[in-house]
Homo-oligomer: A and B are copies of this chain.
């Protein structure tokens, strides 16, 4: 048993070396420049060894991308702290998510949209990431991390919206909440993809303010009063 734990610990430590090497490359050259060869070299291993720890290049990319999601999850509690009204908190979550994801649109696209058509197990990578980097896990962020790990993007948006409306005693039929959640995701995704193609389109702050204002409008179109 202890033997197995030590083996597992060694494995996770080695994975962390590769992921940290990959993150350095992403920071310096962007995620499009990442490669197995460069990552292995920077970590001091050869490419064949890397494949003992990651099933393919995409898995290395996804583990590396998780770091950016972790930064968002860490940032969120302080961001929400001064806000009490549930729907304003809901909008603040979007604001914080926009700020983080619009800073790294390709990375968040990879995590949330690239694999939408396959049944890939986001929560597996999510939990495995915190097994590899347990020091990253904080109780403070645990709430939001649970939310983040629980389901796919549109399910998460639906749950977050439903929860906020319930807390405000606003009744909307489930189909309306579903449509509103979808509308908000389309608005977000439209902006994310625009920034992926054209990083000069708007500043991160402008793109965030614009997207949140559109989501506000979507809410008002369902007669949800935000004043």
Residue positions of A touching B, CB distance < 8 A: 113-114, 116-117, 179, 182-183, 185-191, 193-194, 197-201, 210-211, 213-214, 217-218, 220-222
- Number of copies of chain A assembled together: 2
Establish whether residues A190 and B197, one from each chain, have CB atoms under 8 Å apart when the complex forms: no
Establish whether residues A186 and B197, one from each chain, have CB atoms under 8 Å apart when the complex forms: no
Which residue of B190, B197, B213 is within 8 Å of A179 (Cβ)?
B213
**B residues within 8 A CB of A116?**
194, 197-198, 201
Which residue of B190, B194, B200, B201 is within 8 Å of A187 (Cβ)?
B190
Which residue of B186, B198, B217 is within 8 Å of A190 (Cβ)?
B186
12 A-B residue pairings within 8 Å (CB atoms):
A114-B197, A116-B194, A117-B197, A117-B198, A179-B210, A186-B186, A186-B190, A186-B194, A189-B190, A189-B194, A193-B193, A217-B218
Cα–Cα distance between A198 and B183 once the two chains are bound (Å): 17
Which residue of B114, B186, B198, B201 is within 8 Å of A214 (Cβ)?
B186
